Amino acid sequence: MRKITTYKNKKILVLGLAKSGVSAAKLLHDLGALVTVNDGKPFEENPEAQDLLTLGIKVICGSHPIELLDEDFFMMVKNPGIPYSHPLVKKAQEKEIPIITEIELAYQISEAPMIAITGTNGKTTTTTMIEHILNAGMIDNKAHLAGNIGYPASTVAKEAKKDDCLVMEVSSFQLMGVEQFHPKIAVLTNLYEAHLDYHGSREAYVAAKWRIQQNMTSDDFLILNWNQKEIRELAKHTKATVIPFSTQEAVEGAYLQEGVLYYKDSAILPANELGVAGIHNVENALASIAAAALWGVDYQVIADTLRSFAGVKHRTQYVGQINGVSFYNDSKATNILATQTALNGFDPHKLILLCGGLDRGNDFESLIPSLEGVKAVVLFGQTKYKLEDAAKKAGVSTIRFVENAEEAVPLAYELSQKEDTILLSPANASWDQYPNFEVRGDRYIAAVDQLKKEKRSPQ
């Protein structure tokens, strides 16, 4: 890693722990900063804070006292999930204390170049596809997954070597806290309405996503979804070299034509040979093809890797079968569009949907067309009654309620017949009942595994 001296003997406040906060605090401590960590969880229930204290890092837990900012802090490193409306964040802004997120630190210390991926949907699959392809084509170096995909970027950046690559999923929350962040290649998978409770407006959300390219130059590559008019308009306002991808037309990048995926004029592989199904995964694959080709990976390696790519956990993940009934885990569908995309991949007349979660003020009118024909829905969480309204309007005749995703499994199985599919695709964030979508998905999988034992299914 680059041994920067920017933060030596500087007072820095790390607000919020979780993985990225712990990583940032340890990195800054290693760089000689005078670190204070503030986290809402009480100290006695906070093993991360206890660990940091043993390193000599100042720890304040259990509340967020405004008087903390009476100290002369050089900078705040904010957990991405903490909104800018938080009193401590607002006070820092009033005092003109710079506020960054942990991916900015990662960029500043990384010797390895970065490929950064953002977008409303598809970013986790695209990030993982790119990492798989690059590692298949690398011999003496390595592509490292990092960022919003579950690997703290600053920890990964410390370990990556100069000739390696960081393949980093970045969220709009993270991008709001960048200053110098500068990927060599960036991908914007798509833009839809999301996280309005955090950003306040669609315009603010789009602006946050667009920060991914703010420091890029003509020597860098910005891979954009050319299917979307909004993104084509944004493309007029970047210094980066734009590489489009499209499932609708031939472009000077990656595209689908007559069932075959191309990069420029070269056929890469037929769409029906992709290891994951669905038109959304064709888009993900096109973006990945463009990134890998720009990195210099052999086209045959790209094709072979995409054929063997089996998908990402919690993203339309096949969990197994019980007496002819198939189970899929799409817990990462934390918004309406993601669930619409998942529903489009199944026969609705043989589908039982498990759905619900955190109420962020959305209605579900736009989900109604995708619910039409669905055999049954099992609902839970804060939004279950809103989803009930949408299901009724869609003509779904069987609607049931349960407490949570795991309780939905045996009930859904009771409603099913052989050759049916049971799909967890919540269309909502998980935070009303679970720490994150991964826990929600894991508990769903565990419930399916328990049901397998009870039914003594051979699979």
Question: What would the mean pLDDT of 320-349 be, rounded to a whole number?
Answer: 91
For the annotated binding site for ATP, the residues are 119-125
Per-residue model confidence as pLDDT tens digits over 131-157: 999 999 998 899 999 999 889 999 999
Predicted pLDDT of residue 457: 45
The answer to the question of residue 448 being in a domain is yes
Task: Tell me which residue range forms the domain holding 108.
Answer: 103-308
The answer to the question of residue 180 being in a domain is yes
The answer to the question of residue 132 being in a domain is yes
Residue given tokens 């995309």 in the structure block: 341
> Pick the residue with more confidence: 126 or 279?
126
Q: What is residue 269's DSSP assignment? A: E
Question: What would the mean pLDDT of 246-257 be, rounded to a whole number?
Answer: 98
Strand runs labelled E in 149-294:
165-169, 185-188, 221-225, 241-246, 254-257, 260-263, 266-270
Count of all residues that appear for the chain in the document: 459
pLDDT band of residue 62 (cuts 50, 70, 90) is very high
Pick the last residue of a domain from 68, 100, 132: 100
Pick the last residue of a domain from 274, 308, 342: 308
For the annotated binding site, the residues are 119-125
In the predicted model, is pLDDT for residue 456 greater than 80?
A: no
Residue 219: CB atoms within 10 Å? 9
Return the CATH number at 201.
Answer: 3.40.1190.10
Q: Are 348 and 375 in contact (CB under 8 A)?
A: yes
Scanning 296-396, the segments in alpha helix (DSSP H) are 299-308, 336-343, 368-371, 384-393
Per-residue model confidence as pLDDT tens digits over 230-240: 999 999 999 99
Q: Chain-wide mean pLDDT for the chain?
A: 95
- Shared domain for 282 and 322, answered yes or no, is no
